[in-house]
Amino acid sequence: MAMWPKLRTLVLTVAALITIGGCATIMQGTTQAVGVSSQPAGARIRVNGTEFGVTPAVLQLKRKDNHVVVIELDGYQPYTATFTRSLSGWVLGNLVFGGLIGLVVDAASGALYKLSPEQVAATLDRNVVMEQTEDMVYIGVVLQPDPSWTRIGTLAPVTTDR
């Protein structure tokens, strides 16, 4: 008969340990799947400076961090997107069902957050500086010139005195 109180204590301890896990950790996990695509496809994906494959792809990103995603393809301007974290709706579920312990577990694991945007569809622009046909010259403006380009002039604002 002395065994029943010990068994009951063991069962209650195991049950308490199971419920300690946060609600969001259990429901949505510590990573989030985000879709990354580009036009044209086949561009390299870097997340926080680390190679992650080529487009199209579904990336598993940690919810607790912000992420900078760079999509690059030779001959095209790089495309940069920032995934930012914000509080998930599971915060309320934690307060109701998990209590303070569940809230702490989810905050520590990152499951308390969601990443935005949920997907990125990048349209990559060509690195065209100048094209010339017989009777026309097309000039393109780029934000980050290639260091190997040769500067042929600088545009300056025109002021008129009236």
In this prediction, residue 156 carries a pLDDT of: 78
The predicted-structure confidence for 138-153, as pLDDT tens digits, reads as follows 666 666 777 787 777 7
| pLDDT confidence band for 26 (50 / 70 / 90) | very low
Share of the chain above pLDDT 70, in %: 61
The predicted-structure confidence for 77-126, as pLDDT tens digits, reads as follows 999 999 998 776 655 555 555 555 555 666 666 667 888 999 999 999 88
- DSSP code per residue over the chain: -THHHHHHHHHHHHHHHHHHS-HHHHHH-SEEEEEEEEESS--EEEETTEEEEESSEEEEEETTS-EEEEEE-TTB--EEEEEEEEE-THHHHIIIIIHHHHHHHHHHHTTTEEEE-SEEEEEPPB---EEE-SS-EEE---SS--TTSPP-----------
User: Domains of the chain (ranges plus CATH)?
Assistant: 10-126 (2.60.40)
Instruction: Please tell me the pTM assigned to this model.
Output: 0.58
